[in-house]
């Protein structure tokens, strides 16, 4: 019989040990064949025997935290089918056949690989320039006084360079801690894309607000942005750039996005309204648009007054 492989799940990359023909012991004591240093593992916890008839027999040796196979405690168990999931204390193991299939190799997200656009330095540079251009346009469109270059530079420094730079630096440090790598170009590309996406989405939401004479498009964007798009983007980054497993990427993304999202969401008027359904101000649709595209029909004064009679007062707060 071919020798088996024991997959030991760790917080970083998984560890693999060959299980030889015959008897293999697993535990925390140093006289075991495979040593697990986790404190929930007994000194002698599990014995694996590969018999000559190719059967595999697992024997629990621990009184505390007895071994579980497929989530069931065992004394002795013959394993007929691989892979088998084993829990020793809080350590997760999988018993695999040597020919167990492995996932496809992912291309490196670096400029030495032409298959990954995020790794190219010029692509990051182009995106940074586009961000600066968009931010400068935003400054210009919201500037009502005579133009001053110094004002533009201050705005770009504050709103774009420091914002994007701050996110890139913070997230890169997190990535370094997580996967032990610096990937500044990829991070810069990703943050710039998120910035541009947010700008475009805001434009679209505001236009929809005016078109529909409603506020739900921008509210939806606001919550969707922080609760779905930002964690989703970080997950994609961790999966495709940092090459972490999907589930772990999702958890990490939620962890990273939370400090970004929670203060913004909790301070937003939308969330305040959800948490406390009373507002002393009148929330009316004050947005205006030069294009003036709206689905509401234009009415004359008499019709307006007639329809206005139906307007009820707002709800009392709880």
Partner 1 sequence: MHQSLFAVLLVLLFAVTAPAAALDSKGIYQLNQDRVVQVRVLNRETGKKSSIGSGFIVGDGRQLATNYHVISQIVLEPELFYISYISNDGTEGELTLEALDVAHDLALLGAEQALGDAIQMSPLPPRGAPIFAMGNPLDLGLSIAVGTNGGILNQTDDSRILFSGSLNPGMSGGPTFNEFGEAIGINVATARNDISFIVPSRFLTELIERSTTESYADNVDLKAEVARQVIAYENRYIEQLLAGDWQGLNLRQFQLPGVISPTVRCWDNSAKLNAVARYKRYQIRCANQNHVYLDSDNHFVGRLSYEYYWLESDELNPIQFYNLYESLNKDQIETKPGREIASNFNCETWFIEVSMQEMKSNLCRREYLDYPGMSDVLFTAALTGHADRGFFVTLIMTGVDFDSTLPLIQKFLEETEWTP
Site residues for partner 1 per CB under 8 A = 140-146, 213, 277-290, 292, 294, 296-302, 304-305, 307-309, 311-317
Distance, CA of 84 to CA of 97 (rounded, Å): 10
Nearer to partner 1, 105 or 146 (CB): 146
Smaller CB distance to partner 1: residue 3 or 279?
279
Tell me if 79 sits within 8 A of 59, measured CB to CB: no
Question: What is the smallest separation between the CB atom of 298 and partner 1, expressed in angstroms?
Answer: 5
* 16 versus 278: smaller Cβ distance to partner 1: 278
Q: Which is nearer to partner 1, 274 or 305 (CB)?
A: 305
Least CB distance to partner 1 at residue 103 (A): 49
Q: Does residue 222 contact residue 204 with C-beta atoms inside 8 Å?
A: no
Which tokens belong to 226?
């922080």
Rounded least distance, CB 212 to partner 1, Å = 10
State which residue, 51 or 285, has the beta carbon closest to partner 1.
Answer: 285
Q: How far is the CB of 189 from partner 1 (least distance, A)?
A: 29
Residue whose entry in the numeric block shows the structure tokens 């018993």: 95
Nearer to partner 1, 70 or 151 (CB): 151
With contact defined as beta carbons under 8 Å apart, do 128 and 164 qualify?
A: yes
- Residue 53's Cβ-side half-sphere holds a number of Cα atoms within 13 Å equal to 5
User: Least CB distance from residue 132 to partner 1, whole Å?
Assistant: 19
Between 102 and 280, CB nearer to partner 1? 280
What are the backbone angles phi and psi of residue 8, rounded to the nearest 5°? -110, 115
DSSP type of residue 119:
G
CB of 273 vs partner 1, minimal distance in Å = 9
Provide the minimum distance between the beta carbon of 211 and partner 1 in the complex, in angstroms, as a whole number.
12
Q: Which of 177, 143, 178, 153 is nearest to 248 (CA)?
A: 178
Phi, psi of 77 (to 5 degrees): -145, 135
Which region holds residue 180: left if phi is over 0, alpha if psi is between -120 and 50, else beta?
Answer: left
Q: Which is nearer to partner 1, 74 or 208 (CB)?
A: 208
Dihedral, CA atoms, 164, 167, 169, 173, nearest 10 degrees?
A: -160
Q: How far is the CB of 196 from partner 1 (least distance, A)?
A: 18
Closer to partner 1 by CB, 177 or 308: give it: 308
Q: Cα separation of 228 and 249, whole Å?
A: 14
Query: Which two three-digit tokens encode residue 72?
Result: 């069931």
**CB 141 to partner 1: min, Å:** 5
Q: How far is CA 59 from CA 46, 213, 261, 284, in A?
A: 6, 69, 49, 71
Q: Which among 127, 240, 239, 140 is positioned nearest to 191, based on CA atoms?
A: 127
> Which residues are CB-neighbours of 268 under 8 A, at least 6 positions away?
222
């Amino acid at each position: 019989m071919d020798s088996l492989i024991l997959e030991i799940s760790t917080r970083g990359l998984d560890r693999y040990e060959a299980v030889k023909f015959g008897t293999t012991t697993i535990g925390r004591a140093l006289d075991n064949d495979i040593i697990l240093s986790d404190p929930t593992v007994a000194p002698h916890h599990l014995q694996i025997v590969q018999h000559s008839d190719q059967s595999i027999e697992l024997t629990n040796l621990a009184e505390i935290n007895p071994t579980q196979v497929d989530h069931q405690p065992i004394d002795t168990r013959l394993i007929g089918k691989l892979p088998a999931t084993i829990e020793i204390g809080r350590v997760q193991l999988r018993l695999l056949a040597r020919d167990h299939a492995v996932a496809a190799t992912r291309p490196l997200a670096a400029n030495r690989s032409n298959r990954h656009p995020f790794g190219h330095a010029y692509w990051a540079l182009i995106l940074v320039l586009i961000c600066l251009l968009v931010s400068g346009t935003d400054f210009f469109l919201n500037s009502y006084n005579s133009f001053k270059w110094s004002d533009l530079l201050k705005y770009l420094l504050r709103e774009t360079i420091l914002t994007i730079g701050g996110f890139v630096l913070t997230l890169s440090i997190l990535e370094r801690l997580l996967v032990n790598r610096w990937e500044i170009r990829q991070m810069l590309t990703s943050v710039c894309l998120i910035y541009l996406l947010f700008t475009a989405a805001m434009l679209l939401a505001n236009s929809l607000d005016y078109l529909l004479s409603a506020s739900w498009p921008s509210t939806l964007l606001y919550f969707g942005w922080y609760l779905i798009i930002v964690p989703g983007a970080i997950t994609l980054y961790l999966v495709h750039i940092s090459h972490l497993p999907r589930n772990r990427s999702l958890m990490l993304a939620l962890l990273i996005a939370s400090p970004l999202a929670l203060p913004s969401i909790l301070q937003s008027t939308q969330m305040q309204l959800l948490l406390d359904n009373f507002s002393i101000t009148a929330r009316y649709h004050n947005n205006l648009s030069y294009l003036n595209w709206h689905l509401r029909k234009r009415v004359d004064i008499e019709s307006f007054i007639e329809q206005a009679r139906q307007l009820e007062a707002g709800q009392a707060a709880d």
